[in-house]
């Protein structure tokens, strides 16, 4: 497909010459001679890459750069500069430009930079497509550990490997499974899921594998189990550690042989699906106790994601609580937490994780008579922390802990830690001094 290049330069003859050369090489060139005409063209044309001269008559071309990027953040902008403005060009890279070229511009160099820019643009468009697939999933995180898990989940999604998601109850394992499915090649069909802990052994066998008509008393019609219903999509087996050993053996055979047999049936049925499993149990301990098959674990944990509990990612507590309060208030104006209430939310260890936090927020939203939620509106299990934390600055304790953990995760690289914490290095060093965390 022909790519459109917007040339922004106040010298008409140079624009015409450059446009002619690009057209000969298969590009669709557009020319603008000042900021206003560039923005007007940009608003009605699909532009894939822009060439921006720093000098636009009396204008500074760089003032146009942020306006273009606000309209299309993924737009690669290549800045053209004279030797005397090289420092400005380098500064433009820091402001979001893709690259810069010095005058006189060599065509072979320009074509190479254009090719790289368009590859970047195509990659960003693909990333936007993937993000749009998961836009409805309420995965909210400020945690570096969770971001790394989501990045790994995105990479694994394109494979067909079975995935095992481990973590305490309420940490969001099913959301991670949905995230993987929606980023996979099977996303056109809805993911199928079964909570293995919700069925006794006989009923779980039937739910998974189905039965033939007449297989048992009351089996008056053929029933297709969830394995058959998952053809072409992903199957999420939640709480797989709660299954009986007999069912585990049948699941192992299904994964190995990619086929199943209905209860009471002689025919084997080929299956084409992606396995995702989750558990809140220690499967190795269950193997040692003889309640879980080691060969099934080895099949499932080809790729394992361990979701941290909420107490280990406290930076997610307030953002999640604000999402839940908006949800609890429906279409009405959301209530909000006062500072003391947020401090208590941060101080609580949330043994029930995100599920417990959501319940606590919904409770507070219901109890509170004002728009501001105070500590007395929280459940007693959370509000009890008030007496335990009197006289302490919970936010500072939380910030100190977050900085320590981030520096450790960054291998003591202060520059990287500052980037992950979204603060300047100077701010980070001030806080390290404040909390007595400076080396030596």
Q: Residue 300 and residue 304: Cα distance in Å, rounded?
A: 8
CB 78 within 8 A of CB 100: yes
CB 139 within 8 A of CB 175: yes
Structure-token match 């069909």, residue found: 189
In DSSP notation, 124-176 reads HHHHHHHHHHTTTS------HHHHHHHHHHHHHHTS---EEEE--TTS-HHHH
Q: What percent of the chain has pLDDT over 70?
A: 90
Q: Is the pLDDT assigned to residue 225 strictly greater than 50?
A: yes
Band (pLDDT 50/70/90 cuts) for residue 393 is: low
Band (pLDDT 50/70/90 cuts) for residue 404 is: confident
Mean pLDDT of all residues in 38-61: 85
Mean pLDDT of all residues in 290-307: 91
Mean pLDDT of all residues in 355-381: 90
pLDDT in tens, 153-176: 988 998 888 999 999 999 999 999
Phi and psi dihedrals of 263, rounded to 5?
-60, 125
Mean pLDDT of all residues in 123-139: 48
Q: Is the pLDDT assigned to residue 226 strictly greater than 90?
A: yes
Q: Is the pLDDT assigned to residue 295 strictly greater than 50?
A: yes
Q: Residue 249 and residue 264: Cα distance in Å, rounded?
A: 17
Strand order in the sheet with 99-102: 28-32, 4-8, 49-53, 77-81, 99-102
Q: What percent of the chain has pLDDT over 90?
A: 41
* Residue 127: per-residue pLDDT: 46
Range scoring the smallest mean pLDDT among 57-71, 127-141, 254-268: 127-141
pLDDT in tens, 76-96: 889 888 755 656 766 777 677
Hey, which of 101-115, 224-238, 332-346, 382-396 has the most confident mean pLDDT?
224-238
* Residue 89: per-residue pLDDT: 66
**Distance, C-alpha 58 to centroid of its chain:** 44
Number of Cβ within a 10 Å radius of residue 435: 15
Phi and psi dihedrals of 352, rounded to 5?
-90, 5
CB 192 within 8 A of CB 181: no
CB 370 within 8 A of CB 334: no
Structure tokens at 62: 């760089």
Mean pLDDT of all residues in 385-389: 49
The better pLDDT of the pair 121, 405 is held by 405
The better pLDDT of the pair 24, 330 is held by 24
What pairing do the DSSP bridges indicate for beta strands 55-56 and 59-60? antiparallel
Determine the angle formed by the axes of helices 339-347 and 317-328, rounding to 10 degrees. Answer: 120
* Residue 134: per-residue pLDDT: 37
* Residue 170: per-residue pLDDT: 92
Q: Is the pLDDT assigned to residue 422 strictly greater than 50?
A: yes
Q: State the Rg of the chain over Cα.
A: 29
Report cis status (omega within 30 of 0) of the bond before 104.
yes
Band (pLDDT 50/70/90 cuts) for residue 386 is: very low
Hey, which of 59-63, 143-147, 161-165 has the most confident mean pLDDT?
161-165
CB 6 within 8 A of CB 64: no
Q: Average per-residue pLDDT in the chain?
A: 85
- Output the pTM of the full model: 0.60
Determine the angle formed by the axes of helices 144-157 and 173-182, rounding to 10 degrees. Answer: 40
The better pLDDT of the pair 124, 275 is held by 275
Phi and psi dihedrals of 90, rounded to 5?
-65, -40
Structure tokens at 255: 């994964």
In DSSP notation, 301-349 reads TTEEEEPPPGGG-GGGHHHHHHHHHHHHTTTSPPPEE-HHHHHHHHH--
Q: Residue 121 and residue 361: Cα distance in Å, rounded?
A: 41
Q: Residue 185 and residue 126: Cα distance in Å, rounded?
A: 13
Domains within the chain, CATH numbers bracketed: 4-130 (3.40.50.2300), 144-308 (3.40.50.300), 311-388 (1.10.8.60), 394-434 (1.10.10)
Range scoring the smallest mean pLDDT among 217-226, 251-260, 328-337, 364-373: 328-337
* Residue 387: per-residue pLDDT: 44
* Residue 125: per-residue pLDDT: 60
Determine the angle formed by the axes of helices 339-347 and 353-367, rounding to 10 degrees. Answer: 150
pLDDT in tens, 24-41: 999 999 999 988 889 888
* Residue 101: per-residue pLDDT: 84
* Residue 391: per-residue pLDDT: 39
Band (pLDDT 50/70/90 cuts) for residue 217 is: confident
Band (pLDDT 50/70/90 cuts) for residue 417 is: confident
What pairing do the DSSP bridges indicate for beta strands 234-238 and 192-195? parallel
Q: Residue 143 and residue 135: Cα distance in Å, rounded?
A: 19
The better pLDDT of the pair 253, 101 is held by 253
């Amino acid at each position: 497909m022909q790519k459109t290049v917007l040339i922004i330069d106040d010298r008409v003859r140079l624009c015409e010459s450059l446009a002619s050369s690009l057209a000969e090489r298969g590009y669709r060139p557009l020319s603008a001679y000042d900021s206003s005409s560039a923005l007007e063209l940009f608003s009605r044309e699909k532009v894939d890459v822009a060439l921006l001269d720093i000098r636009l008559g009396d204008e500074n071309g760089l003032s146009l750069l942020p306006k273009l990027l606000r309209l299309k953040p993924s737009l690669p902008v290549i800045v053209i500069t004279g030797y005397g403005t090289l420092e400005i060009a380098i500064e433009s890279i820091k402001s979001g430009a893709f690259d810069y070229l010095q005058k006189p511009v060599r065509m072979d160099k320009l074509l190479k930079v254009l090719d790289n820019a368009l590859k970047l643009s195509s990659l960003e468009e693909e990333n936007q497509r993937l993000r749009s697939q998961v836009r409805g999933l309420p995965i909210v995180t400020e945690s570096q550990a969770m971001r790394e898990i989501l990045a790994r989940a995105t990479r694994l999604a394109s494979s067909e490997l079975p995935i095992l998601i481990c973590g305490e109850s309420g940490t969001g394992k099913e959301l991670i499974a949905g995230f993987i499915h929606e980023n996979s090649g099977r996303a056109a069909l809805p993911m199928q899921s079964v909570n293995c802990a919700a069925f006794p052994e006989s009923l779980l066998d039937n739910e998974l594998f189905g039965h033939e008509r007449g297989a048992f008393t009351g089996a008056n019609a053929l029933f297709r189990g969830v394995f058959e219903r998952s053809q072409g999509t992903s199957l999420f087996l939640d709480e797989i550690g709660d299954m009986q050993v007999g069912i585990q053996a049948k699941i192992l055979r299904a994964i190995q042989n990619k086929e199943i047999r209905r209860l009471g049936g002689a025919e084997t049925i080929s299956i084409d699906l992606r396995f995702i499993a989750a558990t809140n149990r220690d499967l190795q301990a269950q193997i040692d106790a003889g309640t879980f098959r080691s060969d099934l674990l080895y099949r499932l944990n080809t790729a394992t994601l361990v979701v941290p509990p909420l107490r280990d990612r406290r930076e997610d507590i307030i953002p999640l609580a604000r999402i839940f309060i908006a949800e609890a208030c429906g279409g009405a104006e959301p209530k909000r937490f006062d500072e003391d209430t947020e401090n208590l939310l941060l101080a609580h260890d949330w043994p029930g994780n995100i599920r417990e936090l959501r319940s606590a927020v919904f409770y507070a939203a219901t109890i509170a008579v004002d728009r501001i939620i105070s500590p007395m509106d929280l459940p007693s299990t959370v509000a009890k922390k008030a007496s335990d934390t009197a006289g302490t600055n919970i936010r500072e304790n939380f910030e100190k802990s977050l900085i320590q953990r981030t520096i450790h995760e960054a291998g003591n690289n202060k520059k990287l830690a500052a980037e992950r914490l979204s603060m300047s290095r100077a701010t980070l060093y001030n806080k390290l001094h404040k909390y007595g965390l400076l080396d030596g």
